[in-house]
Amino acid sequence: MSAHPKPALAPVPGIEPDAIIRAGLNVIDIESAALAALRPRIDAAFVAACQMMLDCKGRVVTIGMGKSGHIARKIAATLASTGTPSFFVHPGEASHGDLGMITEADVVLALSNSGKTEEVLTIVPVLKRQGNRLIAMTGDEHSPLARLSDLHLDVSVPEEACPLGLAPTSSTTAALVMGDALAVALLEARGFTSQDFARSHPAGSLGRRLLLRISDIMHSGDDVPSVPDNSTISEAVVEMSRKRLGMTVVVDAGKRLVGVFTDGDLRRALDDPRTDLRSTKVAEVMGRSPKSIGAERLAVEAARMMENHKISAVVVVDEQSRVVGALNIHDLLRARVV
């Protein structure tokens, strides 16, 4: 049984639920067929278009009007975020000055389902005269835009999902998927990695996970709870209370890490009747195999270490095992790494 049962359909005057469901399913069937028709068109022209974009010394500029413009804008955003510098130019605005945004080094990807969009065709001669390479994405290989282009990508569909045949539906879906196919093929051809993606998405969760280093979020200097190895338990407890990390590092005379004293160690010490907080040395009850990590490592590695070892804090050390910082799970949560 599903954990989230579907809500019962409440009767709505003038609405036949079964008819609504049939209409929705019909759209999915029609658009699925349109996408299936794209498969044989991932061909030599598709490869040539990818090669043209790979060879581009400038940017890939997408253009389109109306619904095609919305798809062109999304394709530009996907290309830009996956390693192919790209931006969208509105063809209507291009005729009134925005053509200056397009340089001769750019490749232009023009979208028009009919291939006859006046605003697009108006600027094509200017682009050709400037020396731009032109890739057309249309539903008619014999259209004016297709004939004027250097390469044509066929995104024609058997039918629109709109029963009136008026609203672009299947055609815009096909164009969007062809754009995604170009972007992903270029991504793989460039050897684009998740680290590259993160650099263009620094505010996203992936960017934080892949770019944020331990040095960016750790406690350092006087904020690190630390006591000498000859300190008593009571002195260690005072340091823990002051620094509020739920632990304190224990160091030798050279500031090298020798152990960690945690809340758990304190509880275990209190359970032992032989323990005197004012006289027992912290070195007698501390953990002697503390988990440590370097400051230049990624914050996500610290999170993984805490998870694997079921601990809530790690010590940050340099190459000589000298303590330079500390962080706990709350620091990772605040940085939205976990």
Separation between Cα atoms, residue 290 and residue 258, nearest integer Å: 8
* Contact status, residue 328 vs residue 245, Cβ threshold 8 Å: yes
Q: How do strand 247-251 and strand 257-262 relate by DSSP bridges?
A: antiparallel
For residue 280, give both structure tokens.
């027992």
pLDDT at 333 (0 to 100): 86
Q: How far is CA 209 from CA 92, 214, 292, 301, in A?
A: 41, 11, 19, 9
Residue with tokens 């500029």: 61
> What is the C-alpha to C-alpha distance for residues 123 and 99, in angstroms, rounded to an integer?
8
- Are residues 89 and 42 in contact, defined by beta-carbon separation less than 8 angstroms? no
Query: What pLDDT is attached to residue 1?
Result: 45
CA 136 remoteness from chain centre: 29
**66 neighbors 118 (Cβ within 8 angstroms):** no
> Of 181, 170, 177, whose CA–CA distance to 31 is shortest?
170
**Domains of the chain from N-terminus onward:** 17-192 (3.40.50.10490), 214-334 (3.10.580.10)
Instruction: Tell me which residue of 287, 285, 281 sits closest to 232, measured CA to CA.
Output: 281
Complete DSSP assignment for 190-207: HT--HHHHHHT-TTSHHH
Q: Which residue has the tokens 């389902």?
A: 113
Q: Extract the runs of DSSP E, i.e. beta strands, from the chain.
A: 60-64, 86-88, 107-111, 133-138, 151-154, 226-228, 247-251, 257-262, 292-294, 313-317, 323-328
Whole-angstrom CA distances from 43 to 38, 46, 55, 107, 245 are: 10, 5, 19, 20, 59
| φ/ψ bin of 131: left (φ > 0), alpha (ψ from -120 to 50), beta (otherwise) | left
Rounded average pLDDT per 10-residue block, the chain, 338 residues: 57 78 94 95 96 95 96 95 92 89 96 96 94 96 96 96 86 96 92 63 54 86 93 93 91 93 90 88 91 88 89 92 92 79
Q: How far is CA 273 from CA 29, 267, 270, 286, 315, in A?
A: 75, 12, 7, 17, 30
Separation of alpha carbons 236 and 246, rounded Å: 11
- Spell out the residues 6+ positions from residue 196 whose beta carbon is closer than 8 angstroms to its own: 83
Contact by Cβ (8 Å): 263, 246: yes
Q: What is the pLDDT of residue 34?
A: 95
Measured distance CA(80)–CA(19) in Å, rounded: 41
